[in-house]
Structure 1
């Protein structure tokens, strides 16, 4: 499978999140070997806890929208990773979405997002004072 198919699977993740579509989210995840680390949460291991976390997030009326940009991919054999910047409520997170090719479809194995530090300020040229 090519990079475009991997990026399409990644887009499905964010579309399901935006629509709060638990069925679409469930369909994207692999059936076993899944893990997830939401920002500030403990590690979730196993499909049931991971899917339950999305159900709880989708039920939260104050959950901010999540959008992704700056996707970068890495495909090695049957595994594909997408690294991207998520914007949530004006804040930025760095996310990793790890997929595996299962029955010719990219299935999500692991999602992790954590706060992204702001870039350092641009260096200014040293000011010279002449007396």
Structure 2
């Protein structure tokens, strides 16, 4: 399997873990390291294993269902680091009902041994301009 294919598989494993709502599966995709970073849409930056895994437990524990459609996936690999930029269209169902949203995510993976592990996830909500407003150039 090429590096690109391995990185795409690691990225898919992240979304599969998210959709499974299983904290142990989420733990398996992250590098257990104090320098990891996670920025959930609308949250402040979280650093380190403990705060990041606590955030995932909180998020996953408050959902009944999560489904992603991924689009516009771009992969950049440089040595043992890989950056994946991806558009997420997601549907989440929780205590407050069903929500649909679009997020632009940057996922950074580091190769350790033969595997790629997440070291950073940054999600930003996409706020589309109204149909009659042209996009900024």
Q: TM-score, normalised by structure 2?
A: 0.81
Please list, as runs of the form range in 1=range in 2, the aligned pairs for 1:42-61 lying within 5 A after superposition: 42-61=44-63
Name which one, 1 or 2, has greater alpha-carbon Rg: 1
Please list, as runs of the form range in 1=range in 2, the aligned pairs for 1:70-109 lying within 5 A after superposition: 70-89=72-91, 90-109=100-119
The structure where strand makes up a greater share of residues is: 2
8 Å Cα contact 2:19/2:65 also seen in 1: no
Question: What is the Cα deviation at residue 62 of structure 1?
Answer: 5.9
* Structure 1 residue ranges without an equivalent (≥5): 125-131
Number of residues paired by the alignment? 124
8 Å Cα contact 1:14/1:68 also seen in 2: no
Q: 1:22 to 1:123 in 2, by over 3 A?
A: closer
* Structure 2 residue ranges without an equivalent (≥5): 92-99
Q: Tell me which stretches of 4 or more aligned residues in structure 1 moved more than 4 Å.
A: 119-124
Question: What is the Cα deviation at residue 63 of structure 1?
Answer: 6.4
CA RMSD of aligned residues (A): 2.1
Q: TM-score, normalised by structure 1?
A: 0.85
